[in-house]
């Protein structure tokens, strides 16, 4: 059964839906730059307009109400609020926009979960070195305090940083996300480190300055696949799967939830590779400094973004250069029995979520967990009757039920990615994750509910009407 006050949500992020990239004094972000430079995004598309939620927020609110969501997860655009990234220059129009969104949600009895940073660093801060610079942590802390101060009377669930792993690796190692750096084997660790420092500073600020009056909760959203050994009887495969979990989830979750430092497995793997390449052992993965506020304990709940699973075997690497891939020294493969969604990276493995939830319960001291993203992608011609996605949501949510009922995992909320089709980063508009279809080729950008949206709203309304006894509530009707 689902606990009382379970959060039923959907998620979006600022750059992916807002548009209005220069409206009313907004400053540019690294995604504006990355898209406008051309070559990095499918069809050279960009988020200049996308769903135009900056002007069409009422339409989004209608979608939220139609679904019957109890929670809505959105992100704030740092450069819309603070065009040059600093609190010296506040854009009041940006403040007004988010005030209106938050007030409208609350008026409709929907609780906002607000992410402060979802991939869109102000370009002005990138010009100072971006996440590679240690100073970004202080700037992020000031921005966070500004947001707590401005919106925290009404926002009770905060995510500081969304998916530091994706920002670090895709933005600075692989280079397919902004800022598009490909500094293999070095920059991503530094970026991840500064993101953890930034997160921890913001959490401590909330804790000491706002918690008593505002009574909210703050965490960071960590993405991870579920990794399991290709051959569970092969020692090397088992070790490779453990390393993959350590390099993906553990990288950020160990410091925050268990030790205040990176997983030992990760440190030793990186040191080994550094030495093999003739460098000193402890060069690339930074150490946490006593000068910084402690990292351990800086999350009031566990926020997980889960999309897919991988089988892992040993080996699979790679040229004579330093890289994260080389450090990881593991090869990820798909199980042929797993169906693939619209995008090649997203194999549909709902039971992987249950396993990952149980792993988090066991390894990270049984935290309260919000699943802050989970979803299914569609490509190709319009299919409002998205039967595959309906199946996906049904079976995923039933795995969450099993995790709660049979494994005793403390799951408190589930957010579908995404409320509506939007700008899917390097894939542009070619990949659709929405519960609502958005007609990007029409001036009105009309939103139309998919069958999966109707399905999700049925699940939510059943939960609401059965608040206390939801056992088997997915069984009938489907």
- The catalytic residue positions are 163, 373
User: Using DSSP, how many helices (H) and how many strands (E) does the chain show?
Assistant: 17, 13
Using alpha carbons, list the distances in angstroms from residue 339 to 197, 350, 456: 38, 11, 21
Decide whether 429 or 433 has the Cβ nearer to ligand PNW.
Answer: 433
Distance of alpha carbon 318 from alpha carbon 316, whole angstroms: 6
Taking alpha carbons only, the member of 458, 456, 439 closest to residue 447 is 439
Side by side, the strands of the sheet bearing 309-314 are 226-229, 309-314, 330-333
Using alpha carbons, list the distances in angstroms from residue 293 to 104, 195, 200, 287, 447: 36, 13, 7, 13, 45
Q: Phi then psi for 160, rounded to 5 degrees?
A: -70, -65
Give the nearest distance from C-beta 341 to ligand PNW in angstroms: 10
Please report which helix (H) or strand (E) contains residue 421, including its range: none
Decide whether 163 or 228 has the Cβ nearer to ligand PNW.
Answer: 163
Give the nearest distance from C-beta 430 to ligand PNW in angstroms: 12
Taking alpha carbons only, the member of 283, 280, 281, 287 closest to residue 268 is 281
Give the nearest distance from C-beta 176 to ligand PNW in angstroms: 7
Give the nearest distance from C-beta 344 to ligand PNW in angstroms: 10
Q: Is the dihedral of CA 276, 277, 281, 287 positive or negative?
A: negative
Taking the alpha carbons at both ends of the chain, their separation in whole angstroms is 18
Read off the tokens for 397: 């949510």
Decide whether 198 or 222 has the Cβ nearer to ligand PNW.
Answer: 222
Residues binding ligand PNW (CB under 6 A): 13, 16, 162-163, 166, 223, 305, 345, 373, 417, 424-425, 433
Distance of alpha carbon 147 from alpha carbon 29, whole angstroms: 18
What percent of the residues of the chain are helix, what percent strand, and what percent coil, each to the nearest 5? Answer: 45, 15, 40
- Residue 178 DSSP one-character state: T
Decide whether 353 or 470 has the Cβ nearer to ligand PNW.
Answer: 353
């Amino acid at each position: 059964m689902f606990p009382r006050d379970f959060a039923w949500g959907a998620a979006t992020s600022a750059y992916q839906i807002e548009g209005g990239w220069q409206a009313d004094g907004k400053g540019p972000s690294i995604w504006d730059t990355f898209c406008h430079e051309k070559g990095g995004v499918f069809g050279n598309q960009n988020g200049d307009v996308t769903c135009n939620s900056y002007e069409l927020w009422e339409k989004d609110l209608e979608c939220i109400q139609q679904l019957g969501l109890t929670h809505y997860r959105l992100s704030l655009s740092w450069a819309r609020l603070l065009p040059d990234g600093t609190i010296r220059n506040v854009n009041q129009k940006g403040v007004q926009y988010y005030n209106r969104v938050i007030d409208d949600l609350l008026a409709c009895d929907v609780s906002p979960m607000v992410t402060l940073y979802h991939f869109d660093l102000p370009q002005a801060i990138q010009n100072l070195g971006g996440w590679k610079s240690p100073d970004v942590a202080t700037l992020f802390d000031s921005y966070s305090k500004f947001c707590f101060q401005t919106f925290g009377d009404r926002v009770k669930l905060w995510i500081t940083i969304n998916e530091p792993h994706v920002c670090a690796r895709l933005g600075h190692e692989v280079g397919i996300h902004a800022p598009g750096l490909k500094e293999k084997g070095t920059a991503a660790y530094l970026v991840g480190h500064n993101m953890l420092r930034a997160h921890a500073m913001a959490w401590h600020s909330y804790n000491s300055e706002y918690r008593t009056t505002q009574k909210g909760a703050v965490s960071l959203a960590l993405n991870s696949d579920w990794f399991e050994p290709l051959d569970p009887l092969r020692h090397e495969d088992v070790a490779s799967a453990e390393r993959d979990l350590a390099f993906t989830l553990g990288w950020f979750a160990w410091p925050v939830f268990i030790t205040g430092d990176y997983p030992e497995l990760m440190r030793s793997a990186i040191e080994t590779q550094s030495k093999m390449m003739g460098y000193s052992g402890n060069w690339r993965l930074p150490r946490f400094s006593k000068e910084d506020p402690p990292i351990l304990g800086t999350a009031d709940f566990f926020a997980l973004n889960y999309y897919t699973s991988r089988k892992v075997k040993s080996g699979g690497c790679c040229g004579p250069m330093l890289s994260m891939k080389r450090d990881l020294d593991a090869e990820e493969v798909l199980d042929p029995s797993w169906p693939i969604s619209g995008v090649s990276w997203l194999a549909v493995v709902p039971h992987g979520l249950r396993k990952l939830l149980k792993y988090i319960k066991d390894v990270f001291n049984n935290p309260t967990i919000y699943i802050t993203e989970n979803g299914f992608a569609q490509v190709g011609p319009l299919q409002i009757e998205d039967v595959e996605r309906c199946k996906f949501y049904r079976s995923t949510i039933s795995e969450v039920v099993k995790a709660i009922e049979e494994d005793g995992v403390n799951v408190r909320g589930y957010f579908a990615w995404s409320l509506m089709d939007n700008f899917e980063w390097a894939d542009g508009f070619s990949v659709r994750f929405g519960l609502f279809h958005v007609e990007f080729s029409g001036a009105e950008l009309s939103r139309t509910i998919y069958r999966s949206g109707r399905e999700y709203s049925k699940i939510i309304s059943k939960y609401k009407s059965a608040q206390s006894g939801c056992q088997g509530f997915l069984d009938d009707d489907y």
